[in-house]
């Protein structure tokens, strides 16, 4: 290890203002999982996680959902800087399976403008899915440009840039076990 190795804790960085604790997140996910299991009873939904932000959420949500289900992933890029979404959307890693006739539950980390999800939900509908619903951990509702219905919502949050629990700033902070507001993205 070089002499310049960082010794500062990543999880207690002073640039992070805690917003939701790991315990609050787990308690809400237990409720969402129970609700999903009830709503889809007797069916075999396919959970589609949106890479990479939703990876942590989907891994906890599927274990809170006592149901026969499948899991797939899709990756989407919305061009622009890391704190803004431009509205241009492209699928960069598509599903490996056909979804015709399936009950789809898209699992996303956060809805901001709604542009990414409105594109994705329409795209999945067009492939002949029987139903397409959405679970989102966070909703920054004030910033919505395109209305998107969230069937299973974790938390509504203020208009601030948040990181942790899968959410990143320039690929950093996905590993925080809680969600924090990033005070100064430049530091
Ligand atoms: P939308 O198309 O504006 O709804 O953008 C949603 C995507 O932007 C999310 O899936 C995130 O990848 C990213 N995003 C939006 N707000 C935040 C944030 O506060 N922190 C981290 N990523 C965010
Ligand atoms: Mg995302």
Q: How far is CA 149 from the centre of its chain?
A: 15
Ligand 1 cavity residues, CB under 6 Å: 53, 78, 85, 108-117, 161-163, 167
Q: What pLDDT is stored for residue 185 in this prediction? A: 78
Q: What pLDDT is stored for residue 79 in this prediction? A: 63
Domains: count for the chain: 1
Residue 130 domain-assigned? yes
Residue 161 domain-assigned? yes
Residue 13 domain-assigned? no
Q: What pLDDT is stored for residue 6 in this prediction? A: 64
Residue 5 domain-assigned? no
Q: What is the 3-state secondary structure (H, E, C) of 123-138?
A: HHHHCCCCEEEEEEEE
Among 84, 88, 112, the mutation site with the greatest number of ligand 1 atoms within 8 A of its Cβ is 112
CA distance 127 to 107: 18
Stated pTM of the model = 0.92
Q: What pLDDT is stored for residue 3 in this prediction? A: 52
Ligand nearest to the CA of 84: 1
Q: What pLDDT is stored for residue 4 in this prediction? A: 59
Residue 40 CA to ligand 2 center (angstroms) comes to 25
Residue 139 CA to ligand 1 center (angstroms) comes to 10
Residues 6+ apart with CB under 8 A from 113: 85, 87, 143, 144, 145, 146
Atom 5 in ligand 1: which residue has the minimum CA distance?
A: 112
Residue 105 domain-assigned? yes
Q: What pLDDT is stored for residue 63 in this prediction? A: 98
- CATH number of the domain encompassing residue 74: 3.40.50.2020
Q: Scanning the structure block, which residue is given the tokens 């604790």?
A: 21
Give the structural domain span for 47.
22-182
Residue 15 domain-assigned? no
Atom 10 in ligand 1: which residue has the minimum CA distance?
A: 110
Residue 131 domain-assigned? yes
Low-confidence residues in the chain, pLDDT < 50: 81-82
Residue 115 CA to ligand 1 center (angstroms) comes to 10
Residue 85 domain-assigned? yes
Q: What pLDDT is stored for residue 35 in this prediction? A: 98
Atom 11 in ligand 1: which residue has the minimum CA distance?
A: 110
Among 58, 106, 123, 167, the mutation site with the greatest number of ligand 1 atoms within 8 A of its Cβ is 167
């Amino acid at each position: 290890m070089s002499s310049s190795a960082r010794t500062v804790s990543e999880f207690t960085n002073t640039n992070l203002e805690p917003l939701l604790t790991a315990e609050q997140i787990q308690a809400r996910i237990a409720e969402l999982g129970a609700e999903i299991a009830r709503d889809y009873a007797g069916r075999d939904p396919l959970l589609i996680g949106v890479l990479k932000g939703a990876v942590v959420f989907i891994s906890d949500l599927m274990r809170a959902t006592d149901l026969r289900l499948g899991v797939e992933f899709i990756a989407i890029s919305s061009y622009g800087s890391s704190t803004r979404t431009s509205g241009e959307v492209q699928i960069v890693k598509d599903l490996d399976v056909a979804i015709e006739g399936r009950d789809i539950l898209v699992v996303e980390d956060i809805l901001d403008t709604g542009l990414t999800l409105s594109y994705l939900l329409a795209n999945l509908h067009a492939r002949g899915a029987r139903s397409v619903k959405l679970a989102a951990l966070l909703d920054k509702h004030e910033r919505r440009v395109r209305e998107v219905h969230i069937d299973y919502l974790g938390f509504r949050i203020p208009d601030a840039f948040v990181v942790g629990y899968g959410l990143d700033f320039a690929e950093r902070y996905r590993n925080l076990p809680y969600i924090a507001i990033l005070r100064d993205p430049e530091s």
